[in-house]
Amino acid sequence: MDTKTLIQEAKARFNHNSAKAYLKDKYDSKLIVAEQGGLWKATPELISFLYNSTDSHVVILDNYSNPVKVNREQLHVTLRKTYDFVMEQWHNEWKQLESKR
């Protein structure tokens, strides 16, 4: 018996909350990047900070709370690329799952 038939016969309901949690588990970790001696998560806040600063080098606390002096522009580019790529994938998979009833 294939999975679709099994789901139909069991009258199983798609659980959107669990699907949301699964996607968060899957994609949150993909936002983590190791660069310039620190570990970073590509969040909108950090990306905005890097974008709006004017100095070429800034000191930021990384995920382990270590202060790391980074090349601002370089880290901004990496995190922005990572964020856009991962969030696009996350959104696409969410749209697919949301269409399930």
Partner 1 sequence: METTRKQTMRGVLLFAFNTDKVDYYKMAINTAKRANKFLDLPVTVITDESTDLTKYDYKFDNVIIRPANKDNLKGKDIWINKGRYQAYELSPYDETLLIDTDYLINSDKLLTIFDLYDDFMCHNTTSIIMVPDDPQEKLGLNMPNSLWATVIAFKKTPKVKMIFDCMQMVQENYNHYVNLYNFFSATYRNDYSLTIALKIVNGQSEDASYYIPWNLVHVAKNTYVYRDTDTEYTVLYDHWNRGKIKKEYITIKDMDIHLLNKDNYMELIDE
Residue 91 within binding range of partner 1, rule CB under 8 A = no
Please give the residues from 37 up to 56 whose contact with partner 1 meets the rule CB under 8 A: 39
Judge contact between 31 and 82, C-beta under 8 A. yes
Judge contact between 71 and 35, C-beta under 8 A. no
Residue 28 within binding range of partner 1, rule CB under 8 A = yes
Residue 71 β-bridge partners: 57
Quote the least distance from Cβ 93 to partner 1, whole Å. Answer: 8
Distance (Å, whole) CA 101 – CA 99 = 6
Write down the residue that tokens 């294939």 correspond to. Answer: 2
Residue 59 within binding range of partner 1, rule CB under 8 A = no
Interface residues with partner 1 (CB under 8 A)?
3, 6-7, 10-15, 17-22, 25-26, 28-30, 32, 34, 39, 63-65, 93, 97, 100
